[in-house]
Chain A
């Protein structure tokens, strides 16, 4: 298996633009997580999907952020409109069963909003 796949690896955009980050979890994993990593706050959970259903989105910062998982092999995290404070590394991770099992992380997307 190729592991968790994320795209793009780097994204530079201007304030106000829409940004879409993509994730393909490991086949057979039914839990998918989006994290954001910043110097100030470390690694923080944004949203968790189980069997394609959003279970916990309490970490999503505000309405500008949205996430979808239309099928078991694909998820998106969208920021619209983007702001400079959204600049961070966004990781997607998957596991076989929720937060209690080992999570496999993708390579991350480094987002810079100018």
Chain B
């Protein structure tokens, strides 16, 4: 059974801090790595879909890197803002299913 692990489980930072979290996934038979942002009372929203080893994607203050050989991806948030507070999920395809990690819940205090 494919296992996607995320750490830390939760994180609390001050406004303006930069932060990062990790997603670990099996490196064998890799196809793609997804990052989603999930705000409370809303639905998950895709941030990035990454496929190439060494790939780096950026959207505003959020960026992600991918290492398919060792099976990990980092998500970085530069200068965290209260509106960044959300759960960040990573996921990778396994057959027909997209296997999600349990997420990292970020809380940003002003």
Show the binding face of A for B, using Cβ within 8 Å: 33, 42-45, 48, 50, 55-56, 59, 91, 98-108
A105 touches B43 (CB 8 A): yes
Q: Point out the residues of chain A lying under 8 angstroms from B43, CB to CB.
A: 91, 105-108
Given A43-B89, A45-B97, A45-B98, also A103-B46 (CB < 8 A):
yes
Show the binding face of B for A, using Cβ within 8 Å: 31-32, 34, 42-46, 49, 89, 93-103
Q: Point out the residues of chain B lying under 8 angstroms from A105, CB to CB.
A: 43-45
> Given B49, B94, B101, which contacts A101 in the complex, CB threshold below 8 Å?
B49
* Shortest distance from the beta carbon of B33 to any chain A beta carbon, whole Å: 11
Number of A-B contacts (CB under 8 A): 49
Q: How far is the CA of A98 from the CA of B94 in the complex (A)?
A: 11
A-side binding surface: helix, strand, loop or mixed?
A: strand
A56 touches B44 (CB 8 A): no
Q: How far is the CA of A103 from the CA of B48 in the complex (A)?
A: 11
B103 touches A99 (CB 8 A): no
* Shortest distance from the beta carbon of A44 to any chain B beta carbon, whole Å: 8
A102 touches B49 (CB 8 A): yes
| Smallest Cβ-Cβ distance to B4: which chain A residue | A42
Q: How far is the CA of A89 from the CA of B73 in the complex (A)?
A: 27
